[in-house]
Chain A
Amino acid sequence: DTGVSQDPRHKITKRGQNVTFRCDPISEHNRLYWYRQTLGQGPEFLTYFQNEAQLEKSRLLSDRFSAERPKGSFSTLEIQRTEQGDSAMYLCASSLTSEVNTEAFFGQGTRLTVV
């Protein structure tokens, strides 16, 4: 399968703990996005990378959140000192920028539950 993969699929953590999620994009895609989706809402943009450069971060991304994409391949999203409000589905997507823009391909997401 050459789609976007995310790990883990589910994570339950205690409030105050740190968590890290991983995303492996489609190999030739240069853009990688992180979105957050809460119950009953559409995905909300968190941040995106063009190759290894993090070009934009949403105001939703507090100081407790950090994302990296070393070498422009896989990406990690870390949440420090988790809070119950962080409980959500975290979606990763990748795309290939071109003259004719294409859609973003999404992974299956990581569902985070903070107890």
Chain B
Amino acid sequence: AQSVTQLDSQVPVFEEAPVELRCNYSSSVSVYLFWYVQYPNQGLQLLLKYLSGSTLVKGINGFEAEFNKSQTSFHLRKPSVHISDTAEYFCAVLKGNFNKFYFGSGTKLNVKP
């Protein structure tokens, strides 16, 4: 069975501080990994994706993520957050047959001034 675990449902952080949002997946086959961001009452917007190659992936808005196969993790990081980063972040995996995305339960990032 495929599953995506986001360990933190909420992460409060002060503006300009670094942040890490954790994501672990379970899969016995190769997967593609994604991070999406969702602002209130909006759809999901892609932040970054890992398909193959370099395990450090850079995305939009200064976010990056590192694929760690041995730990089956794909944690999202940003060295300095802004108020505008306040949103919900979803980790997702796409299995080898590319049929559907499996999403984690989301992490709400709350950036405080």
Residues of A within 8 A of B (CB): 4, 6, 33, 35, 40-45, 48, 55-56, 91, 93, 97, 100-101, 103-109, 111
Contact = CB atoms under 8 A, between A and B. Distances in A.
Contact of A45 (B36, B44, B45, B100): B100
19 contacts: A6-B43, A33-B100, A35-B103, A42-B105, A42-B106, A43-B44, A43-B90, A45-B100, A48-B100, A56-B99, A91-B43, A91-B44, A100-B51, A101-B51, A101-B98, A104-B101, A105-B46, A106-B36, A111-B41
Contacts of B100: 33, 45, 48, 56
Interface of B: 4, 6, 9, 32, 34, 36, 41-46, 49, 51, 90, 92, 94, 98-106
Contact of B94 (A56, A101, A107): A101
A109 B43 contact: yes
A107 B105 contact: no
A11 to B, nearest CB: 14
Given A97-B98, A101-B32, A43 B42 contact: no
Nearest to B48: A103
A23 to B, nearest CB: 11
B43 A103 contact: no
A34 to B, nearest CB: 10
Nearest to B101: A104
A6 B105 CA distance: 23
A4 B6 CA distance: 27
Given A48-B99, A55-B99, A101-B94, A41 B106 contact: yes
Nearest to A111: B41
Residue from the set A44, A93, A104 with the largest chain B CB neighbour count within 10 Å:
A104
